[in-house]
Structure 1
Amino acid sequence: MANISKTEKFQLHVPNLEELCQVLESGLNKNFSDVKVSVADCPDLTQEPFRFPVKGICGKPRITDVGGVPYLIPLVQLDKLMPLVLTEAEGRPAVNGSYFSSINPVDGKCLQEKYSDRFHDCDFGLLANLYACEGKPGKVIKVRACRRTGEDSLVSCMRKTMEEHYGEKTMALGGTFVIQKGKAKIHIMPREFSTCPLNTSKDVDNWLRHFEVSAPLIFQTVMVSRDPGLDLRVEHTHGFSHHGEGGHYYTDTTPNTVEYLGYFLPAELLYRIDRPTETHNVGRD
């Protein structure tokens, strides 16, 4: 990414994990028929179905919001994933386990590929919402939610619950969840950026390609209870599968049968990098 002009740092509210479990379970019960939220040991994320390059999501958890949608909309600024990266350390190279999805030019369907099969770096452009940690095992928030009865997605319900309960205190969660049963709505951007200005959310929606994809699906998510004035994307979720489907998550499309299992941790700090000087709220769903 060219010219990162500014990094802003924000101290987040970090509640007690037991307290947060009670808050989230209460909120999720309004949106799902079967809910259990508890403090648990993070499973070994190098194992199935995750296959992450690290064992856990614990150790100095941070949230980073880089760039933003205004660098893409109304027209892309080219000077400005589904990331699973173990960063470089002494005696160890970086490991990029990321995936990316595009539109298959042959049949117009979703084409998911491993980033390392095509590229040999850890770059991205325009925007990213990232959860970073030391990749250690530890205690996390375990969420099981089945059979959606409300209108909100799992992520939106959790975020709105935190916003309502914690009010002016800004807190954020990062982590991973699996749709074990059911299907989900996703989008993938076309291979070519739009040459016509995308001035409304409807313009953006018409430009994107939408798909219904099937479980099991593994997602990475970042959610912030409220924007403290940093022009944040308050929730953003991407996911992949081991059967070739992946993209930007909206919600499940099979509310009567869907089953979610997730592991999350509140972040301690938020870093806002390269905040757009001119902004808008188009295309942030």
Structure 2
Amino acid sequence: MACAEFSFHVPSLSELAEVMQKGLKDNFAEVQVSVVDCPDLTKEPFTFPVKGICGKTRIAEVGGVPYLMPLVNKKKVYDLNKIAKEIKLPGAFMLGAGAGPFQTLGFNSEFMPIVQTESEHNPPVNGSYFSYINPADGGYLLEKYNKKYHDFGCALMANLFASEGQPGKVIEVKAKRRTGQLNFVTSMRQTLGNHYGNKPVGMGGTFIVQKGKVKAHIMPTEFSSCPLNSDEEINKWLNFYEMKAPLVCLPVFVSKDPGFDLRLEHTHFFSHHGEGGHYHYDTTPDTVEYLGYFSPAEFLYRIDQPKETHGFGRD
């Protein structure tokens, strides 16, 4: 598997907090960005297998949308324990968004990776979720992966934020009442892009939609047999839903692509009330409340970059 490495621009947390405070005010009525100790992420509502998102931070983008569409490439299957070694961090804690391991499940799904990978001293822990369309009624189901499955697979594409899973200082973002057109993640990403320009900054972490509802999608369980060649065709294929807070989201975003055909942002979410999928934006701007914890990434690893690419299917 080909793997390219790139060093991100890594501003200080205090500088990032200042930049984000200023930029997010264009999109939200109330914004408070500060540097805090990472909360204990093993506790509710996160229930991650590690306490934090600090230590040797990096972003891995694996595969990509061109392996799903126009038509699926079923050879593109991955193992998160192997990816941890590729990014030179065996034992990494990873979270993010990707396509579920159809090689195990037998069908296509949205995947919410939350994995403590294997290291010399510790066995791996899979806290991931997946959501999929219920063939019985066209509704959706959210399941915890390790209730039935014991592998560490994913497929086709994944955007992962990896760290040693340590406690430490992080950026806390509180935003209420959306006044602009951008979703929460795009608002942060564009703020960084506007400020840092040609110096790419990568970030990841977790945020909670505390109040309100969001628009989400879940891919069909069957891959498309007709080629999907535009966003319009993809949107007809996808299933869209409105889902309600509280939702635990797993964002990965990069301010500028330094030439690796990146998906600049990708956010999946799960909940403890059976709702989960791919986050688009909130549908209740007047009441929405976000609370997030983020860490800048030191490195980017681009793994198995598609040789043939296109620009659609990146929303």
- Tell whether the structures are fold-level matches, with TM greater than 0.5: yes
Alignment deviations for residues 18-65 of structure 1 (CA, whole Å, 9 cap, x no partner): 111111011110100000000000000000110001000001100000
Counterpart amino acid of residue 204 in structure 1: I
Gapped regions of structure 1 (runs ≥ 5):
none
Matching residue of 1:38? 34
Within 5 Å, which residues of 2 pair with 1:106-185?
A: 106-185=136-215
Counterpart amino acid of residue 178 in structure 1: I
The structural deviation recorded for 1:89 is 2.0
Distance 1:258 1:12 in 2: 31
Structure 2 residue corresponding to 1:193, chosen from 217, 223, 241:
223
Structure 2 residue corresponding to 1:221, chosen from 251, 273, 294:
251
Alignment deviations for residues 63-91 of structure 1 (CA, whole Å, 9 cap, x no partner): 00000000011000001110000111233
Q: What is the DSSP-based 3-state SS (H/G/I as helix, E as strand, rest coil) of the residue aligned with 2:266?
A: strand
Gapped regions of structure 2 (runs ≥ 5):
77-110
Coordinate RMSD, CA, aligned: 0.6
Matching residue of 2:96? none
Q: Does 1:248 align with 2:278?
A: yes
Matching residue of 2:314? 284
The structural deviation recorded for 1:110 is 1.6
Matching residue of 2:297? 267
Matching residue of 2:86? none
Structure 2 residue corresponding to 1:59, chosen from 44, 55, 58:
55
Within 5 Å, which residues of 2 pair with 1:73-112?
A: 73-80=69-76, 81-112=111-142
Counterpart amino acid of residue 257 in structure 1: T
Structure 2 residue corresponding to 1:48, chosen from 41, 44, 47:
44
Distance 1:32 1:21 in 2: 15
Structure 2 residue corresponding to 1:232, chosen from 262, 267, 271:
262
The structural deviation recorded for 1:257 is 0.2
Distance 2:115 2:212 in 1: 28
Alignment deviations for residues 114-151 of structure 1 (CA, whole Å, 9 cap, x no partner): 11122111101100000000001000000000000000
Distance 2:218 2:175 in 1: 26
Counterpart amino acid of residue 70 in structure 1: P
Identical-pair percentage = 62
Q: What is the DSSP-based 3-state SS (H/G/I as helix, E as strand, rest coil) of the residue aligned with 2:70?
A: coil
Distance 2:65 2:58 in 1: 21
How many aligned positions are there?
A: 281
Counterpart amino acid of residue 31 in structure 1: N
Distance 1:204 1:117 in 2: 31
